[in-house]
Amino acid sequence: MIKKFDKKDEESGSGSNPFQHLEKSAVLQEARIFNETPINPRRCLHILTKIIYLLNQGEHFGTTEATEAFFAMTRLFQSNDQTLRRMCYLTIKEMANISEDVIIVTSSLTKDMTGKEDVYRGPAIRALCRITDTTMLQAIERYMKQAIVDKVPSVSSSALVSSLHMVKMSYDVVKRWVNEAQEAASSDNIMVQYHALGLLYHLRKNDRLAVTKMLNKFTKSGLKSPFAYCMLIRIASKLLDETEGGHDSPLFDFIESCLRNKNEMVVYEAASAIVHMPNCTARELAPAVSVLQLFCSSPKAALRYAAVRTLNKVAMKHPSAVTACNLDLENLITDSNRSIATLAITTLLKTGSESSVDRLMKQISSFVSEISDEFKVVVVQAISALCQKYPRKHSVMMNFLSNMLRDDGGFEYKRAIVDCIISIIEENPESKETGLAHLCEFIEDCEHTVLATKILHLLGKEGPRTPQPSKYIRFIFNRVVLESEAVRAAAVSALAKFGAQNDDLLPSVLVLMQRCMMDSDDEVRDRATFYMNVLQQKQKALNAAYIFNGLSVSIPGLEKSLHQYTLEPSEKPFDMKTVPLATTPITEQKTEIAPVATSKLPEKLAPSRQDIYQEQLASIPEFQGLGPLFKSSEPVQLTEAETEYVVRCVKHTFARHMVFQFDCTNTLNDQLLQKVIVQMEPSEAYEVIHYIPAASLPYSQPGSCYTLVRLPDDDPTAVSCTFSCTMKYLVRDCDPNTGEPDDDGYDDEYVLEDLEVTVADHIQKVLKPNFGAAWEEVGDEFEKEETFALASVRTLDEAVGNIISFLGMQPCERSDKVPENKNSHVLFLAGVFRGGHDVLVRARLALADGVTMQVTVRSSEETVVDVILASVG
């Protein structure tokens, strides 16, 4: 019947799909013939194929119907038709998670895996391991061990790969098969070798010594399998990375020797491994680069792609190393595979000279619409890097970017362009106006709220300082009329900044604000009303505090404080100064310029490091009543890297106290440390109040102990202090294998390096987007000025870096970047001193035989000014 139907269907027209109109229920109905005797292998095979086809198309099978079909299928084991049997294995694997009681086929599969038919054994092992669990695995352990060392490659491979899949679930069982895996690794079959190596590594990966031994053995004996070689290279480079082994190590030599392997796959893997090693010198890179260069002219697209993609990576850090390949890359810019062409061009943009930029840009714009968004982002990032290298080319780039901005593209792509334009504007003041004009045009028709608000924010920041601020008002106000709430609100904030900075625009801005106050959205109305009232006061200080420089507190911190305040209402008004400050993010790390996998994780607003510390400290009863955490320092190492105990310290500053958090790790597996404290001897009038020990410190499990110190009240200028630190503890020897400690222990101590507290620990970084306004706001009541000579410093860059790290303040207005070929520079720093006093520093630097520095400090509190000047001197 079915056969006939199929025939008819086949003849009824071209391209017919015998599976097209399959109905799950009809197929399951047909599956009843599984129960007929004798079994008709052809028909049953056809039905099983249909079932798997349906599963493959994503058809959903309910548990009951799946179980029913599964049980019917088990009857087919009575037939000896090979293909039918193999399809049964597949069905078992496909249904393992859908059907119930799949383990009933265990005995049939065990029979097949140990039987005479080699065609059955491999697949039976894989099907069996798919449905087995740890207890059952022990029952078949004997057979698995035999299968691993079986001389039939498909059996051995199947057993090895299945073991690898089982490691996660049944590590303790599988690890007993290491000897068999070892034996399989010396097999002649290339796949068996590869699978055995994979399993061996997995069983030994936590034992570095064993991995090293294994590597030595295989690198010496040599392997036949290219796959296994690739795996060895990966293991070797991971080991190099972990041990921070120098590049003179035998591991590196091994990887380099693989560059001369016969197989392209291995050569490429080795080249890629070398390129991805951190701190490789140009000389070490050279052999890798030259094999990649050869691949560039391969007839295989995949090889050209792999080569040029890797060269692109090299070009990011070592453009000069790739220059030798420029000619080969030039040949690829017209490659029919657009991915290859794009990568070639972006690589050339990094390595080529300034004169080739125009030509390359023209080439790429001819096919930019054909490439995928991922590569468009690569192009944009290359342009961004180029602008930093050749600032004079910004007009070409800007044109190109604005054309790209007009094209279709997804959010990531548009965001990359906008970010790139913004960074050009920030780097090159002369490109500001054209850049802003392009962005204005873009927001006229922009569907991405995030980008529109970002651009409006930028317009608010930069627009008022351009020669013709009025021309931006129209663009901004159009947003108020046309866009969604979030964009309207951002537009209102931008407008306010124009009003605050440009007196002649103020009346018009006020009129526009008045219209915004009738907006349908709460947030927009609130903002408009707020700005309206602030602007009407016409006071510089108010403008600075409420329009230019927003809140500098941590938002989660503010939320928590306000919640606390509403729980315990008091007469006192809420004090902003009790809220922990936001730790300014370290200047955006340049995202790696490569088509890296775009992470799919939604961007969460992760609590900052400091918020986490705040939480941890607040849970310790001794530290309640210290007030909000003011600042947490970066961890300081107090021991050498490879010692018995590893200790690092984080300094937490509070209004009148400091808490030192010591994160200790015990690296001795035969010791258990208990009651660990770090005793501190201050050099100044600092007073140690309390030690909180870490109760116990077993091998390799980090623990923390704390020391609470009171800052000297009577002398507020004593901001720096040196502590000598000693770790004290009770040692209990223990068995390295079981971790069982002896009954009694003895006291011991361990001297740590000295810990310094400096002025930077008392100042929190705060970014003032508009430094000038903030400077005026603080006023000159407590202004002090002094001049210093920094004799040991040779360049302005170095001086700027030193000052910033010494004071621990936030550079504003991008003043941390010293323009090239200048003899003088002004550095603006902003911060908040412990206790909540704003402090601003303006340092004028002049270069002449060392650096001369004139420091002007302003603050709302006199002692703070003194502290800073005293510590600089």
Partner 1 sequence: MDRQFNLITIMPVLILDNDGDRLYAKYYDDTYPTVKEQKAFEKNIFNKTHRTDSEIALLEGLTVVYKSNIDLFFYVIGSSHENELMLMAVLNCLFDSLSQMLRKNVERRALLENMEGLFLAVDEIVDGGVILESDPQQVVHRVALRGDDVPLTEQTVTQVLQSAKEQIKWSLLR
Q: Which of residues 595-654 bind partner 1 (CB under 8 A)?
A: 595-600
The window from 102-110, 156-164, 628-636, 722-730 that contacts partner 1 (CB under 8 A) reads 156-164
- Three-state DSSP at 734 gives strand
Position 50, amino acid: K
Binding mask 85-114 for partner 1 (x = CB under 8 A): -xx--x--x---------------------
Among 98, 191, 510, 730, binds partner 1 (CB under 8 A): 191
Which among 103-111, 319-327, 593-601, 671-679 is the span making contact with partner 1, rule CB under 8 A? 593-601
Q: How far apart are CB 264 and partner 1 at their closest, in Å?
A: 6
Q: Residue 638 has which token pair?
A: 């107090």
Answer yes or no: are the C-beta atoms of 581 and 558 closer than 8 Å. no
Q: How far is the CB of 122 from partner 1 (least distance, A)?
A: 7
Contact flag: residue 54 with partner 1 (CB under 8 A): no
Q: Can you tell me which of 236, 291, 306, 417 binds partner 1, judged by CB under 8 A?
A: 306
Greatest Cα pair distance, the chain, in angstroms, is 104
* Paired tokens of 368: 């930019």
Looking at 26, 282, 302, 826, which residue binds partner 1 (CB under 8 A)?
A: 302
- Regarding 119 and contact with partner 1 (CB under 8 A), the answer is yes
Phi, psi of 91 (to 5 degrees): -60, -40
Which residue lies nearer to partner 1 by CB, 70 or 645?
Answer: 70
Residue 80 as a binder of partner 1 (CB under 8 A): the answer is: no
Q: Does 171 bind partner 1 (CB under 8 A)?
A: no
Dihedral angle sign, alpha carbons of residues 172, 173, 174, 176: positive
Closest CA to 460 of 506, 492, 507: 492
Cβ atoms of 229 and 266 within 8 Å: the answer is yes
b/e per residue 313-327 (b: at least 16 CB within 10 A) = bbbbebbebbbebbe
Alpha carbons within 13 angstroms on the beta-carbon side of residue 204 total 21
Q: Which of 135, 206, 221, 336 binds partner 1 (CB under 8 A)?
A: 336
Distance CA 201, CA 234 (A): 11
Q: Which of the residues 468 through 487 are near partner 1 (CB under 8 A)? A: none
202 or 465: whose CB is closer to partner 1?
202
Residue from 2, 30, 53, 67 binding partner 1 (CB under 8 A): 53
Cα separation, 424 vs 167, whole angstroms: 51
User: Facing residues of 837 across strands?
Assistant: 833
Question: Per rule CB under 8 A, is residue 144 in the interface with partner 1?
Answer: no
Compute the CA torsion angle 499, 501, 507, 511 (nearest 10 deg): 0
Nearest to 27 by CA among 44, 39, 14: 44
Are 629 and 612 in contact by the 8 Å Cβ rule? The answer is: no
Cβ contact 804:816 at 8 Å? yes
Q: Look at the block and give the residue holding tokens 């302005």.
A: 796
Rounded CA gap, 579 and 594, in Å? 40
CB of 158 to partner 1, least distance (A): 7
| Minimum CB distance to partner 1, residue 92 (Å) | 11
Map the footprint of partner 1 across residues 245-284, applying CB under 8 A: 264-265, 268-269, 272
* Amino acid code (one letter) for 610: Q
Nearer to partner 1, 182 or 337 (CB): 337
Of positions 251, 296, 303, 855, contacts partner 1 by CB under 8 A? 303
State CA 588 to chain mean position distance: 12
**What part of residues 713-742 is at the interface with partner 1 (CB under 8 A)?**
none
Nearer to partner 1 by C-beta: 63 or 792?
63
- Structure tokens that stand for 126 in this block: 């894989």
- Closest to 514 in 3D by CA, of 532, 538, 494: 532
Among 34, 61, 70, 227, binds partner 1 (CB under 8 A): 227
| 500-519 positions binding partner 1, by CB under 8 A | none
Find the shortest distance in angstroms from Cβ 297 to partner 1: 16
| HSE-CB of 371 using CA atoms within 13 angstroms | 26
The string of DSSP letters for 566-580 reads: HHS--SSPP-GGGSP
Which residue reads 């507190």 in tokens? 553
Binding of partner 1 at residue 234 (CB under 8 A)? Answer: yes
Among 326, 337, 365, 871, binds partner 1 (CB under 8 A): 337
Measure CA 422 to chain center. Answer: 23
User: Closer to partner 1 at the Cβ: 202 or 540?
Assistant: 202
Rounded distance, CA 168 to CA 352, Å? 49
* The one among 99, 158, 312, 493 contacting partner 1 by CB under 8 A: 158
Rounded CA-CA distance 272/306 in Å is 9
Please, is 47 exposed, middle or buried when counting C-beta atoms within 10 Å of its C-beta (0-12, 13-18, 19+)?
buried
Nearer to partner 1, 91 or 384 (CB): 91
One of 99, 110, 154, 163 touching partner 1 (CB under 8 A): 154
The least CB distance from residue 839 to partner 1, in Å, is: 44
3-class secondary-structure state, position 152 = coil
Q: Are 397 and 424 within 8 A, CB to CB?
A: yes
CB 306, min distance to partner 1, A: 4
Task: Please report how close the Cβ of residue 230 comes to partner 1 at its closest, in angstroms.
Answer: 6
From the CB of 29, what's the least distance to partner 1, in Å?
20
33 Cβ partners below 8 Å, 6+ apart?
40, 43, 44, 47
- CB closer to partner 1, 155 vs 763: 155
126 part of the interface to partner 1, by CB under 8 A? yes
Question: Can you tell me which of 30, 65, 284, 374 binds partner 1, judged by CB under 8 A?
Answer: 374
Beta carbon nearer to partner 1, 596 or 789: 596
* CB 226, CB 268: distance < 8 Å: no
The helix (run of H) or strand (run of E) holding residue 660 is strand 657-666
CB of 322 to partner 1, least distance (A): 19
Which of 27, 31, 44, 48 lies at the binding interface for partner 1 (CB under 8 A)?
48
Phi-psi domain of 845 (left: phi exceeds 0; alpha: psi -120 through 50; beta: other): beta
Verify binding: residue 52, partner 1, rule CB under 8 A: yes
Q: Which stretch binds partner 1 (CB under 8 A): 155-163, 604-612, 655-663, 742-750?
A: 155-163
Residues 6+ apart with CB under 8 A from 433: 466, 467
Q: Please, which of residues 338-357 interact with partner 1 by CB under 8 A?
A: 338-340
- Which range of residues in 62-70, 231-239, 534-542, 713-721 is near partner 1 by CB under 8 A? 231-239
Question: Is 488 a binder of partner 1 (CB under 8 A)?
Answer: no
305 near partner 1 (CB under 8 A) = yes
Considering only residues 399 through 458, tell me which ones interact with partner 1, judged by CB under 8 A.
none
Residues 13-42 that bind partner 1 (CB under 8 A): 14-19, 42
Q: Which of residues 3, 5, 8, 10 is near partner 1 by CB under 8 A? A: 10
Other beta carbons less than 10 A from residue 330's beta carbon = 16
From the CB of 159, what's the least distance to partner 1, in Å?
A: 11
Identify the residue whose tokens are 């005026």.
Answer: 776
Per-residue interface string for the shown chain with partner 1, residues 548-587, x marking contact by CB under 8 A: ----------------------------------------
C-alpha to C-alpha distance for 174 and 141, rounded to whole angstroms: 9
**Interacting positions 742-801 with partner 1 (CB under 8 A):** none
Q: Which of 145, 175, 238, 525 binds partner 1 (CB under 8 A)?
A: 238
Closest distance of CB 128 from partner 1, Å: 13
The residue (of 211 and 705) whose beta carbon lies closer to partner 1 is 211
Q: Which of 110, 132, 157, 261 binds partner 1 (CB under 8 A)?
A: 157
**Cα–chain center distance at 566:** 37
